[in-house]
A = this chain, B = another copy of it.
Amino acid sequence: MTDFAQLQIIKNGHVTSPKGFKAGGTHCGLRRKKVDFGWLYSEVPATVAGVYTQNAFQAAPLHVTKESIAVEDKLQMVVVNSANANACTGEIGMANAYETRKLVAERIGVSEHLVAVASTGVIGVQLPMEKLTKGIEQIDLDQSVTADFEQAILTTDTVTKYVAVEVEIEGKVITLGGACKGSGMIHPNMATMLAYITTDANVEAESLQTALKTATNETFNMITVDGDCSTNDTVLAFANGMNMQTELTTDHPEWHKFQDAFTLISQLLAKKIAKDGEGATKLVEVNVKQAESTDSARKIAKAIIGSNLVKTAIYGADPNWGRVICAVGYSNQPIDPSKVTVYLGDIKVVENGLPADFSEEEGKEYLMSENVSVTVELKMGDGEATAWGCDLTYDYVKINASYRT
């Protein structure tokens, strides 16, 4: 299990808190006014790991990014545009992604394979390359304004999302930072958003991929807003080694500290996405305990956090635990109904499959909090998992009934 106690969250830490990272953003005209084109840069080529959406319609920039990384598992730059996903755009879309990469490489004077590209926004519209070119021409590596990058990557998000932590390895303090976007189209089991995690540690490529996969399974893959999975979503991790000589691998005696820091960064970012879910008023955390296995616990947690009926009940502060039980029941996992116990926060509402004696008023009051937790104990084994999501509100419908207008 992860142990976050020895980690230090940096107050007002950003994706550029680790040594040698810079970021910026500009308005190139994809949106009316908002900053819409961002870049994240490492002063030296950084070792890179990535996870990508499992959607069969992977957007053009993902292909180009993977191609870049395949060359030597290193990147120095990623550029991101919002407002347009460059997905379902065929050969022209691919050509535009390649062109973007080429122009960026030229602009900053690095090899093309050290550049990754990302897009997020509406599907099926070609990138307006004139505008994008204008954005690329405005990249100035001497003008790092991280807040602009964090703003540029947003779509329907209402806040920028960033975090950084410190961890001591071999007596040396290294830093990890992160930034992400994601508000709709968020669902487990996918690389479900754009997220960028940076560190000034020196991490061997395969080990970095392990850290990312491990963290993603426990964090980004455990959040859901609406059950939909995007064509574009990507998590990239960059380790530039600028603050540490030794190369970290999974065999290193202090590897677990690095993994914990990585998982914490991922969890904090994932929770920010869940809390900023489209129309959300509450962050919901679902804990499943004593499941037959970790996998089973995850599936049950996801069934609960993904239930529209649970989500609307929480929105309405209705302690209607029947909907939680119902989601457990259709998760298709090994359970014994007569052993299931459910808590809303600390309030026991179901004990061994039967209604517990609790005050409806107290339950209602608890569900009015901004942070709500639901805990389910199954007495089937020692599998555990946590999932995060949000309530389903009028505003979710409003945002998505008029996304493009």
Chain A positions near chain B (C-beta within 8 angstroms): 54-57, 85, 87-90, 122-125, 184-185, 187, 190, 226-231, 306-309, 312-313, 315-316, 318, 320-323, 325-330, 332, 335, 337-338, 350, 353-355, 392-394, 396-398, 400-405
Chain B residues with CB below 8 A from A306, complex form: 227
Nearest opposing residue in chain B for A317, CB measure: B401
Partner of A316, one of B329, B393, B401: B401
Chain B residues with CB below 8 A from A321, complex form: 123-124
With A and B bound together, what is the CA distance between A10 and B73 in angstroms? 69
Chain B residues with CB below 8 A from A89, complex form: 354-355
Chain B residues with CB below 8 A from A396, complex form: 308, 312, 397
Chain A to chain B contacts (Cβ below 8 Å), 28 pairs:
A54-B330, A54-B332, A55-B326, A55-B329, A56-B328, A57-B328, A57-B329, A87-B322, A88-B353, A89-B354, A90-B338, A123-B320, A124-B325, A124-B350, A124-B354, A184-B309, A190-B330, A228-B308, A229-B326, A230-B326, A308-B400, A309-B400, A312-B397, A313-B403, A315-B397, A318-B403, A318-B405, A394-B398
Report yes or no: A325 in contact with B227, Cβ–Cβ below 8 A.
Answer: no
Q: Which 8 pairs of residues, A with B, have the shortest CB-CB distance?
A: A123-B322, A316-B401, A312-B400, A57-B329, A55-B329, A229-B330, A56-B329, A226-B308
Chain B residues with CB below 8 A from A307, complex form: 227-228
With A and B bound together, what is the CA distance between A393 and B396 in angstroms? 9
Assuming the contacts A335-B56, A392-B397, A401-B315, asked whether A185 and B309 have C-beta atoms less than 8 A apart, the reply is yes
Report yes or no: B400 in contact with A397, Cβ–Cβ below 8 A.
Answer: no
Nearest opposing residue in chain B for A399, CB measure: B312
Chain B residues with CB below 8 A from A88, complex form: 322, 325, 337, 350, 353-355
With A and B bound together, what is the CA distance between A325 and B403 in angstroms? 16
Nearest opposing residue in chain B for A331, CB measure: B56
Partner of A318, one of B124, B185, B398, B402: B402
Assuming the contacts A88-B355, A306-B227, A392-B397, asked whether A57 and B313 have C-beta atoms less than 8 A apart, the reply is no
Question: Min CB distance, A369 to chain B, in Å?
Answer: 16
Nearest opposing residue in chain B for A405, CB measure: B318
With A and B bound together, what is the CA distance between A89 and B355 in angstroms? 7
Chain B residues with CB below 8 A from A398, complex form: 394
Question: Min CB distance, A311 to chain B, in Å?
Answer: 8
Chain B residues with CB below 8 A from A55, complex form: 326, 329-330
Chain B residues with CB below 8 A from A125, complex form: 355
Nearest opposing residue in chain B for A398, CB measure: B394
Report yes or no: B90 in contact with A309, Cβ–Cβ below 8 A.
Answer: no
Report yes or no: A400 in contact with B313, Cβ–Cβ below 8 A.
Answer: yes
With A and B bound together, what is the CA distance between A108 and B326 in angstroms? 34
Partner of A57, one of B227, B308, B326: B326
Chain B residues with CB below 8 A from A354, complex form: 88-90, 124
Nearest opposing residue in chain B for A310, CB measure: B228
Assuming the contacts A228-B308, A353-B88, asked whether A322 and B397 have C-beta atoms less than 8 A apart, the reply is no
Partner of A330, one of B56, B323, B330: B56
Report yes or no: B308 in contact with A227, Cβ–Cβ below 8 A.
Answer: yes
Report yes or no: A404 in contact with B320, Cβ–Cβ below 8 A.
Answer: yes
A323, A326, A350, A354, most chain B CB atoms within 10 A: A326
Report yes or no: B404 in contact with A318, Cβ–Cβ below 8 A.
Answer: yes
Assuming the contacts A323-B228, A397-B392, A400-B308, asked whether A90 and B123 have C-beta atoms less than 8 A apart, the reply is no
Report yes or no: A228 in contact with B327, Cβ–Cβ below 8 A.
Answer: yes
Chain B residues with CB below 8 A from A394, complex form: 394, 397-398
Report yes or no: A353 in contact with B90, Cβ–Cβ below 8 A.
Answer: yes
Chain B residues with CB below 8 A from A229, complex form: 326, 329-330
